[in-house]
């Protein structure tokens, strides 16, 4: 009888241990980190006032509904044109229960400005200030893993000049991508004084763009695995446009282009 009681005790202990271990494993949190980068525009500066960011499981959830989760971000005014050529700002991160999160809302403040030829203009952003700018992210969070969400803010497409009114309106165009599932292209354009724009094009889609720096260096991050054409368009009129085809990008790797020389 004593032996039977011992066996039953051991079995019960094993079941309790397994149950606790299973619960611990199932409830392990994943982490979402949010980065901000920019496809540059032809401006001196573009200042965006980011106040809050929140996410939801549902892509149809409206402002005020339950289920929104606030991300721990650093509120501030970000100059998008400082976030080009592979540079980015970490907005913040959060630990989340595993599952799919389909929607993000960015809440902007009222200190949004663009500087054109040395003159500062206010950017009107009525909808983004009220309920937030809606982004479809479709992020699958897994326990124990990092999900790095890259917000690619296209400054050139996001600033709209409103005709005769003279107003300049911010209508944000933002591409979202999981950074871990992308690759990078980098290289150097000579001569550097051409100051070219560099675009990565897949089929008919311009996926990413940047402008080479004063040394001629460029870096395009956040590119899905594909075969790209690089379109190089100098801002200096003495140089010709160039095209490089068949540029392969692989997830997790950097495609080194070396030096690309353009003609004048």
Of 163, 181, 199, the one marking the end of a domain is: 181
Q: Would the pLDDT of 92 be above 90?
A: yes
In sequence order, which residues have a C-beta less than 8 Å from that of residue 137 and are 6 or more positions away? 55, 101, 102, 103, 104, 149, 176
**Is residue 15 in some structural domain?**
no
**Is residue 161 in some structural domain?**
yes
Average pLDDT over residues 217-239: 95
**Is residue 9 in some structural domain?**
no
- CATH number of the domain encompassing residue 213: 2.60.40.1120
Q: What pLDDT, on a 0 to 100 scale, did the predictor assign at position 9? A: 46
* Contact (Cβ atoms closer than 8 angstroms) between residue 238 and residue 195: no
Of 181, 204, 223, the one marking the end of a domain is: 181
* Contact (Cβ atoms closer than 8 angstroms) between residue 153 and residue 79: no
Which of helix, strand or coil describes residue 71? coil
What does each C-alpha distance from 128 to 59, 60, 63, 109 come to in angstroms?
17, 17, 12, 8
pLDDT per residue as tens digits for the range 23-80: 444 469 999 999 999 988 889 999 999 999 999 999 999 888 999 999 999 899 999 9
User: How far is the C-alpha of 186 from the C-alpha of 225, rounded, in Å?
Assistant: 15
Greater confidence (102 vs 6) lies with 102
Indicate whether 193 and 121 sit together in one domain.
no
The mean-pLDDT minimum among 110-119, 158-167, 208-217 falls in 158-167
Q: How many domains does the chain have?
A: 2
Average pLDDT over residues 127-150: 89
β-strand pairing of 30-39 with 146-154: parallel
Of 161, 181, 201, the one marking the end of a domain is: 181
With bands split at pLDDT 50, 70 and 90, how would you rate the model's confidence at 127? low
Instruction: List the domain range (segments joined by +) for residue 256.
Output: 182-264
């Amino acid at each position: 009888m004593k032996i039977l009681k011992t066996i039953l005790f051991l079995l019960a202990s094993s079941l309790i241990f397994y149950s606790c271990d299973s619960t611990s494993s199932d409830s392990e949190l994943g982490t979402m980190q949010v980065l901000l980068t920019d496809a540059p525009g032809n401006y001196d500066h573009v200042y965006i006032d980011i106040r809050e960011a929140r996410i939801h499981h549902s892509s149809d959830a409206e402002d005020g509904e339950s289920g929104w989760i606030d991300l721990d971000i650093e509120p501030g005014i970000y100059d998008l044109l400082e976030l080009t050529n592979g540079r980015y700002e970490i907005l913040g991160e959060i630990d989340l229960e595993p599952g799919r999160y389909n929607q993000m809302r960015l809440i902007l403040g009222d200190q949004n400005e663009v500087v054109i030829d040395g003159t500062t203009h206010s950017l009107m952003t009525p909808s983004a200030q009220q309920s937030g700018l809606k982004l479809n992210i479709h992020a699958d969070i897994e326990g124990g893993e990092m999900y790095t969400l890259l917000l690619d803010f296209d400054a050139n497409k996001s600033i709209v000049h409103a005709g005769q009114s003279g107003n300049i309106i911010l209508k944000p165009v933002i591409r979202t991508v999981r950074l871990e599932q992308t690759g990078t292209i980098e290289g150097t354009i000579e001569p550097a004084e051409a100051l070219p724009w560099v675009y990565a094009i897949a089929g008919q889609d311009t996926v990413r763009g940047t402008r080479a720096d004063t040394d001629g260096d460029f870096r395009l991050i956040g590119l899905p695995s594909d075969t790209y054409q690089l379109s190089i368009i100098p801002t200096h009129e003495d140089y010709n446009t160039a095209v490089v085809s068949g540029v392969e990008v692989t997830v997790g790797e950097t495609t080194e282009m070396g030096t690309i020389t353009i003609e004048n």
